[in-house]
Amino acid sequence: MKWLLVLVIVCCNAAGDLLDASGMKRHGEVRDFRPRHVLRLIWELARNPFIVGGIAAMAVAFAAQMSLLSIADLSFAVPASASSYVLETVLAKLVLGEHINRTRWIGAALVACGVLLLQV
Amino acid sequence: MSHHITDPRLIRRKSAAFAALAICCNVSGNLALSAGMHQVGPTLTVELLAYLRIIHNPLVDGGTALLALGLFANLSLLSWADLSYVLPVTAAGYSLSGLLGWAVLGEHISPGRWIGIALITAGAILVGRTQPRTTP
């Protein structure tokens, strides 16, 4: 059960980030932050299936995280959320076609190691 | 002809500004939310909807508003920056909340945790120096 929840958390977080990222790329660069434009942007995003799906996936991940906290230690899921930084960088390359140079790989790996150490 | 795509140098500054906004909103939002939840007490957390109708705790409301603003900043950032840029850079929020816990709440930070904070900060700064967008 614990491992199933970890799997759900990792997959839903990754799916949520990928959906949000591709939904926002499809929307195009946000350039105007005057209140009227921001309200229209929020209305558009609420009708964008990628964004709605992405936020729904994040909500599922959040609910799974809460359930996991009720049956296991906080530290149990930390290695999984740390490795998400590397996993999602790989997915950004494969799915979104981003060019990950060496600096970015090193940065993502440093962040993953750092998150792992926070629990020590 | 006209300015349809923002100048690459401007994109860097705009990305840094929105990442900073997202980080600050998420860290302060989580802090306010958890302080508010402690005031309210743990009994109500299971019944989230009933809780939303009955209780109006300013810290919980403010924390939620800050998290919503953080989500908006994060989505805006993703409209022009790579996911592989946004994720490591916004991970600096871990460092900020650790440092705030130490400086404001006087929490003890173990040597391992200090190294973790240093590694996350270094990773976020490294990725922050790359070009935010690599796709057409």
Picking from A112, A110, A117, A57, the residue whose alpha carbon sits closest to that of residue A85 is A112
pTM: 0.90
pLDDT digits (tens, 9 = 90+) for B42-80: 655 556 666 666 567 888 889 999 999 999 999 999 999
Tokens representing residue B67 in the block: 């998290």
- Ordered by start, the domain boundaries in chain A are 2-118
Is the ipTM of this structure higher than 0.85? yes
Q: Looking at the partner chain, which of A29, A97, A103 has a beta carbon nearest the beta carbon of B127?
A: A103
**Can you give the pLDDT at residue B4?**
55
Average pLDDT, chain A: 93
- Cα dist from B8 to B25, B75, B79, B85, B132, whole Å: 26, 19, 15, 15, 9
Of A25, A42, A110, the CB nearest to B119: A110
Q: How do the domains of chain B map onto residue ranges?
A: 8-128
Write down the pLDDT at residue B54. Answer: 59
Residue A104, chain B, CB below 8 Å: the answer is yes
Nearest residue in chain B measured CA to CA from A84: B87
Which chain A residues are Cβ-neighbours of B22 within 8 angstroms?
A: none
Element (H, E) at B73: helix B58-78
What pLDDT band is residue B34 in, cutting at 50, 70 and 90?
confident
- Chain B's closest residue to A21, CA to CA, is B78
